[in-house]
Structure 1
Amino acid sequence: MVVCGDDGLAHRLAAELRGVYGEQVTLVVPPSERGARQRAVGRARATTAALLDRVSAAVNRAGGNGEPADGERVVEAAEPTEAALGEAGVARAAALALVYDDDETNIRAALTARRLNPRLRLVLRLYNRRLGQHIEELLDQAAALATRDAHGDASTTVLSDADTAAPALVATAVAGTSKVVQTDGLLLRAVERQPPGPGQVADPGLATLALLSAEGGESGEEQGPRLLPDAAEVRNATGRGTVVLQQVAYAGPSLPPARGAVPFASLFSRRLRWSLAGLVGCVVALAVALSVVTGMHPLTAGYLTLLDLFAIDDPAIGQSVGRKILQLLSGLVGLLLLPVLLAAVLEALGTFRTASALRRPPRGLSGHVVLLGLGKIGTRVLTRLRELQIPVVCVEADPEARGLATARRLRVPVVLGDVTQEGVLEAAKIHRAHALLSVTSSDTTNLEAALYARSVRPDLRVVLRLYDDDFATAVYRTLRAAHPRASTRSRSVSHLAAPAFAAAMMGRQILGAIPVERRVLLFAAVDVAGHPQLEGKTVAQAFRAGAWRVLALDTAVSGGRREEPAAEEAYEDVRGPGVSGLVWDLPDTYVLHGTDRVVLAATRRGLAELLGRRPPDRTPPATTTPRPRP
């Protein structure tokens, strides 16, 4: 794997490829990064090891799956020229990641790399998403023409920091974890379950992924983690915890559905409605009094009262004193009515204007997520939160922020104001919120908002976006020490984006990876056609304990797949008519057809065998001597 970049994302990505996937990495960095590279690599290795439960360190000590940390090859080049890419070995590489901060640099290098190696998997970091789609199609077409194989593995994937970091930020705010796998719009996480007590039934979740380490009975030695166990192993594994797959979901209250039209009651404020009601009562009282004093019909009395109210010239000359007094009172009430009517008109116009612009947080809202910042990252986070049907209240200081249009379209309440000013977070109802997501472009603003939110509600879950990793670590440790019962997470965008870039470098079918103690489970979306281990077999027959397991069936029709009527009828039997998406509760007797696409979990070695790739030459982890859990 070759990684080219000029910031912290490149080092994060290299560490992720080595620590999680066990790949050999060549890192291309500018010459001025030599001193900074050593510090950044040290921070990246330390943080990645902690994130992956010290996967790399433990496996290196065992001589197992991991690559040695000093096996990284570094090439220093000011720009990713043809000579620099050739020195990095792009012609022989499996994948290349271009994560420079400049779109033009990444595009120019991608065109050069595609010419040097048409079968190379390319991963580009581009901020312009529309341009990225065109570049992706162009490079894929060039690879297909050069290799004469439209179905090869020379894929091109264009990613942005915002798109890759948003799912992890959302999962951290909702479930307290940033290590997730995203598939078909769902966010999945692995949860450790302790052994069930007497009379309790273990929660299998969507699937049981692994058995955790446990002390081994008479020998006293620890039994290492068992990945992808079968049902018999799970039943017989007494006293061992499990790792189950769960969907990241929000269980709190939801916002009321947005209405297309503005309700009449919301046109006017409560004070204005009471004022109008009082004036109507005065008019009715005057009409009744006129009818009693003059003895005229009530309808006539009401008509004359309205004439007096609107100052229409009809003086009560030659009439009784009571009629004259009532006419004067009616004129006085008419004078009072004018400003009330003007206020009603202005308020109604303002309500219509704000109804098409921004909503205010509804009264009684609780259990929501307060999102600070509607920039590039905040907009993507907002979209993901609403896709999960999570109530959100946004806070933004810039009235021209790019995310306000998205908030207006999604009918999300927005508070315009500086979060550092008193009363802004209170307007977002921070005291009744479920979590605070601070993703503004200023580290100090994010930290100040988090500290203030902690003073209002000490047990609030807080997620911070911080640029510097050292600063993020210091903030996390300090807040955790000051509020041990509250959940606090501080992450940089490069820290959250690296797993998605690494998964893309492994191929488009790789969805992500989740660590299990010293081991790693990969999640992939695979077409059944062309894989004899899957095609024509039932789900039970396709399962190989310790290697791979089919988790779900992708029933979405795309790419011309599943056009055969027989295959379509088979899907009807499993998912029922009119339902699309991922089917998790697949019966063991369901036969996998060549037109199917499945989501599966696998070990590194198992996935390499399934996809027909040669696994790295390493000692099999199953033969290693068990050691205490880190």
Structure 2
Amino acid sequence: MLGFVPPLPQQPQRPPRAGHMVVCGDDALARRLAVELRYVYGERVTLVLPPGRDAARPELPLTQRARAAALFGRMSAAMNRNGAPGGDDTAAGVEAVRIIEASEPSDEVLEEAGADRAAALALVYDDDERNIRAALTARRLNPRLRLVIRLYNRKLGQHLETLLDQAAALAVPGIDPAALDASTTVLSDADTAAPALAATAVTGSSKVIQAEGLLLRAAERPPPRAGALADPGLCTLALLSSTSHDPAGTEGSDSSGAEGPRLLPDRATVEAATGRGTIVLEAVSKAGPEREPRRMGGRGAPLSRVFSRRLRWSAAGVMAAVVGLAVASVLTNGDSPLHATYLTLLDLLAMGDPAPDDAPMSRQIIQLLSGTAGLLLLPLLVAAVLEAFGTLRGASALRRPPRGLSGHVVLLGLGKIGSRVLVRLREMNIPVVAVEEDPEARGVPLARVLRVPTVIGDATQEGVLEAAKIHRARAFLALTSADTTNLEATLYARSVAPDLHVALRLYDDEFATAVYRTLRTAHPGAVTRSRSVTHLAAPAFAGAMMGRQILGAIPVERKVMLFAALVVDGHPQLEGRTVEQAFRAGSWRVLALDATPPADRLPDLSATPPFDPLAPASAGTSDRASGLVWDLHPGYVLRRGDRVVIAATRRGLAELLRGRGVPVPG
């Protein structure tokens, strides 16, 4: 008789096959990144989060499926409300996502998550040290693993990238470095969100892509009037559904018409379409380290700012008195003009001898008048010295907004996010007035260096935003770390300027959506945008996990448009074909050619670091010109070695990359 055999302990479930994505984090960015990878790129995701608890019974942990359903049901709905693609329903999204609960990304946790067979790993904890420690462990487990690390310290990030890339190359001897596909990428959520926030202030939209410092925007155009020619911008990316145009200012809507959006249509389709809006690609501005932000007001202090207008008029009056007395001396005493001016100045400065008794009466009167004018000169000189001293002392202090300033952007908050956005706005030569409550904030020295007018005070108090000339501003950005402060300041700004273009930073996506809808309903004639930093940063992290060939993604209603940088070698759909022949409607389109020699090319077109005015001037690339050519002739033949920027659908990009062994989205 066989004895009782106890059941084996349940083994942790591993992903059924390799090539999945692993995301480790402890805040909203990790959750948003997992949703982005699943619903935009169609990837299988393993998400490592701290242990969660049931809200109804905090003593009981949530089951994996319950937590995944709650997470993806809420976030996928938020993405669909914002116009992001929703090709998979919530149940399919839950099935394709595996959640592991762990406090630390230890060796055992990373092995359980399948980091040794994963295509990419994102470490997005809010602790730099934890991310670095986990990255070193992951590189040891899988030298081919594509690492995406969240760090705020950019200098440390550059050194870490070099270290981990060298470790990967040494661990896999003889492998082509291109096969590693940019094994390490260090990003900052502040840096990745800044371009979208700056574009929101300028254009009202955060649908932007950065390629070698050039900020590109997917702009929605309404249907053209009868007989009018539509402006295609750089190119036409999509035809919108007939129901997609919302005059209230929504960014994408569900398509309920019989004919949905058409991605990458050909010219004949665009010309034949009537009553349908379009999505076109536009260049917003030149950005990046090759263009240094201008200092507002120049480097020096002009004479008009050193001395006040009243003091300048007083000096002019004294000079007029000297000229008048010199002319009177010439006319009455017959002196030469030079001698008359000399005597007048001596009398004015009380340096001359008194006129003798036998001197003409006119000479005595002129001397008395000159002495009287000299009494006025002394306080004038003292005032000039004091004003000049005060002006030069204040040159190193924060500037005040000029009286006639208008058409500027009022930026509330000079913290981690606000300082990055400030640099971006100045790179685009947009006048800015900063408002900050804490005089010791991170971005205050930056504002002083850039000579940006700054108001120190609480923006929710009366008179602070008025001092920033909010009533004459073009836009208002509320970017503090406190949601209530941003919302209160926005409502106060709306009361001062009801038609003001407003964008505010909010942490939670659901709260941001609710605020956006309420403000849009209350002020239908004004543009209002509510932004979450995690919502803006997640696409950049997801694109880095897909590889450096992915520059970003832009949602078009319930579909997605991908932008990628590809080398023509090995792509028969591109190599040896003209730009016109390489275009496939509904799949891909060649947008630009990188004319930079291969040895001088940037390895990652989308990750050009922003200019840091506080850093030393030895950047090394400050004088580097952009090599992207956007006005390509349709007859240009794509050759081996050419690197091109393309716009593609998920299916089209998968077809281009499938033959080269590169992980494909979806």
Give the TM-score, by structure 1 length: 0.85
The AA in structure 2 aligned to 1:134 is: H
Task: Give yes or no for the alignment of 1:234 onto 2:234.
Answer: no
Residue 439 of structure 1, aligned match among 467, 475, 479? 479
Task: Give yes or no for the alignment of 1:585 onto 2:631.
Answer: yes
Task: Give yes or no for the alignment of 1:595 onto 2:641.
Answer: yes
Counterparts of residues 309-324 of structure 1 (less than 5 Å): 309-312=348-351, 314-316=353-355, 318=357
Q: Please report how far the alpha carbon of residue 499 of structure 1 lies from its aligned counterpart in structure 2 after TM superposition.
A: 1.1
Q: Please report how far the alpha carbon of residue 93 of structure 1 lies from its aligned counterpart in structure 2 after TM superposition.
A: 1.1
Residue 429 to residue 191, structure 1, CA distance change in 2 (3 Å): same
Task: Give yes or no for the alignment of 1:130 onto 2:124.
Answer: no
Contact 1:605 1:615 in 2 (8 A): no
Match of 2:519 in 1: 479
Residue 485 to residue 159, structure 1, CA distance change in 2 (3 Å): same
Q: Please report how far the alpha carbon of residue 376 of structure 1 lies from its aligned counterpart in structure 2 after TM superposition.
A: 2.0
The AA in structure 1 aligned to 2:196 is: A
Q: Please report how far the alpha carbon of residue 456 of structure 1 lies from its aligned counterpart in structure 2 after TM superposition.
A: 1.8
Residue 101 of structure 1, aligned match among 126, 132, 141? 126
Task: Give yes or no for the alignment of 1:151 onto 2:151.
Answer: no
Contact 1:396 1:418 in 2 (8 A): yes
Match of 1:246 in 2: 282
Residue 52 of structure 1, aligned match among 83, 92, 95? 83
Counterparts of residues 319-334 of structure 1 (less than 5 Å): 326-334=366-374
Moved more, 30-39 or 258-267: 30-39
Moved more, 10-19 or 353-362: 353-362
Contact 2:654 2:665 in 1 (8 A): no
Moved more, 463-472 or 130-139: 463-472
Distance of 2:121 and 2:645 partners within structure 1: 25
The AA in structure 1 aligned to 2:344 is: T
| Matched residue SS, 1:425 | helix
| Matched residue SS, 2:116 | helix
Residue 291 to residue 225, structure 1, CA distance change in 2 (3 Å): closer
1:177-209, Cα deviation, whole Å (9 max, x unpaired): 122222122222323444444322232221122
Match of 1:526 in 2: 566
Match of 2:39 in 1: 19
Moved more, 427-436 or 297-306: 297-306
Contact 2:195 2:424 in 1 (8 A): yes
The AA in structure 2 aligned to 1:303 is: Y
Distance of 2:257 and 2:403 partners within structure 1: 58
The AA in structure 2 aligned to 1:394 is: A
Distance of 1:330 and 1:444 partners within structure 2: 66
Q: Please report how far the alpha carbon of residue 294 of structure 1 lies from its aligned counterpart in structure 2 after TM superposition.
A: 5.7
| Matched residue SS, 1:222 | coil
Distance of 1:158 and 1:82 partners within structure 2: 21
1:165-188, Cα deviation, whole Å (9 max, x unpaired): 101101111111122222122222
Moved more, 325-334 or 383-392: 325-334
Residue 420 of structure 1, aligned match among 453, 460, 467? 460
Match of 1:199 in 2: 227
Counterparts of residues 361-372 of structure 1 (less than 5 Å): 361-372=401-412
The AA in structure 2 aligned to 1:233 is: T
1:49-75, Cα deviation, whole Å (9 max, x unpaired): 21234x22x5439xxxx9424532110
Task: Give yes or no for the alignment of 1:210 onto 2:238.
Answer: yes
Match of 1:450 in 2: 490
Counterparts of residues 337-416 of structure 1 (less than 5 Å): 337-355=377-395, 358-416=398-456
Q: Please report how far the alpha carbon of residue 611 of structure 1 lies from its aligned counterpart in structure 2 after TM superposition.
A: 1.6
Contact 1:8 1:40 in 2 (8 A): no
Q: Please report how far the alpha carbon of residue 123 of structure 1 lies from its aligned counterpart in structure 2 after TM superposition.
A: 0.7
Q: Percent identity?
A: 68
Give the TM-score, by structure 2 length: 0.80
The AA in structure 2 aligned to 1:544 is: R
Task: Give yes or no for the alignment of 1:274 onto 2:316.
Answer: no
Moved more, 25-34 or 102-111: 25-34
Q: Give the length in aligned residue pairs.
A: 590
Distance of 2:134 and 2:163 partners within structure 1: 14
Structure 1: unaligned runs, 5 residues or longer: 563-577, 619-630
Residue 305 to residue 614, structure 1, CA distance change in 2 (3 Å): closer
Match of 1:623 in 2: none
Residue 297 to residue 586, structure 1, CA distance change in 2 (3 Å): closer
Q: Tell me which protein shows more helix as a share of its residues.
A: 1
Question: How large is the Cα RMSD of the aligned pairs?
Answer: 3.2
Contact 1:373 1:395 in 2 (8 A): yes
| Matched residue SS, 2:569 | coil
1:551-574, Cα deviation, whole Å (9 max, x unpaired): 111223463469xxxxxxxxxxxx
Match of 2:469 in 1: 429
Distance of 1:177 and 1:143 partners within structure 2: 39
Counterparts of residues 248-263 of structure 1 (less than 5 Å): 248=284, 259-263=298-302
Task: Give yes or no for the alignment of 1:605 onto 2:625.
Answer: no
| Matched residue SS, 2:178 | coil
The AA in structure 1 aligned to 2:178 is: H
Distance of 1:60 and 1:602 partners within structure 2: 23
Distance of 1:455 and 1:481 partners within structure 2: 15
| Matched residue SS, 1:248 | strand
Distance of 2:351 and 2:107 partners within structure 1: 89
Distance of 1:285 and 1:424 partners within structure 2: 48
| Matched residue SS, 1:611 | helix
| Matched residue SS, 1:18 | helix
Distance of 2:461 and 2:354 partners within structure 1: 58
Residue 473 to residue 238, structure 1, CA distance change in 2 (3 Å): closer
Q: Please report how far the alpha carbon of residue 579 of structure 1 lies from its aligned counterpart in structure 2 after TM superposition.
A: 7.8
The AA in structure 2 aligned to 1:60 is: D
Task: Give yes or no for the alignment of 1:305 onto 2:344.
Answer: yes
Counterparts of residues 74-93 of structure 1 (less than 5 Å): 74-93=99-118
1:515-551, Cα deviation, whole Å (9 max, x unpaired): 2232211111112223232222211222223222111
Moved more, 230-239 or 166-175: 230-239
Match of 1:180 in 2: 208
Match of 1:539 in 2: 579
Match of 1:28 in 2: 48
Residue 51 to residue 559, structure 1, CA distance change in 2 (3 Å): farther
Counterparts of residues 490-529 of structure 1 (less than 5 Å): 490-529=530-569
Contact 2:294 2:427 in 1 (8 A): no
The AA in structure 2 aligned to 1:137 is: T
Match of 1:284 in 2: 323
The AA in structure 2 aligned to 1:436 is: F
The AA in structure 2 aligned to 1:247 is: A
| Matched residue SS, 1:68 | helix
Contact 2:139 2:164 in 1 (8 A): yes
Residue 397 to residue 294, structure 1, CA distance change in 2 (3 Å): farther
Distance of 2:392 and 2:386 partners within structure 1: 10
Match of 1:627 in 2: none
| Matched residue SS, 1:91 | coil
Contact 2:241 2:257 in 1 (8 A): no
Task: Give yes or no for the alignment of 1:225 onto 2:261.
Answer: yes
1:437-492, Cα deviation, whole Å (9 max, x unpaired): 12123333322322222122111001112234444334323322221111111222
Contact 2:657 2:664 in 1 (8 A): no
Q: Please report how far the alpha carbon of residue 363 of structure 1 lies from its aligned counterpart in structure 2 after TM superposition.
A: 4.8
Distance of 2:556 and 2:657 partners within structure 1: 22
Residue 355 to residue 554, structure 1, CA distance change in 2 (3 Å): farther
The AA in structure 2 aligned to 1:2 is: V
Contact 1:118 1:154 in 2 (8 A): no
Contact 1:155 1:508 in 2 (8 A): no
Residue 115 to residue 269, structure 1, CA distance change in 2 (3 Å): same
Contact 2:193 2:536 in 1 (8 A): yes
Residue 81 to residue 34, structure 1, CA distance change in 2 (3 Å): farther
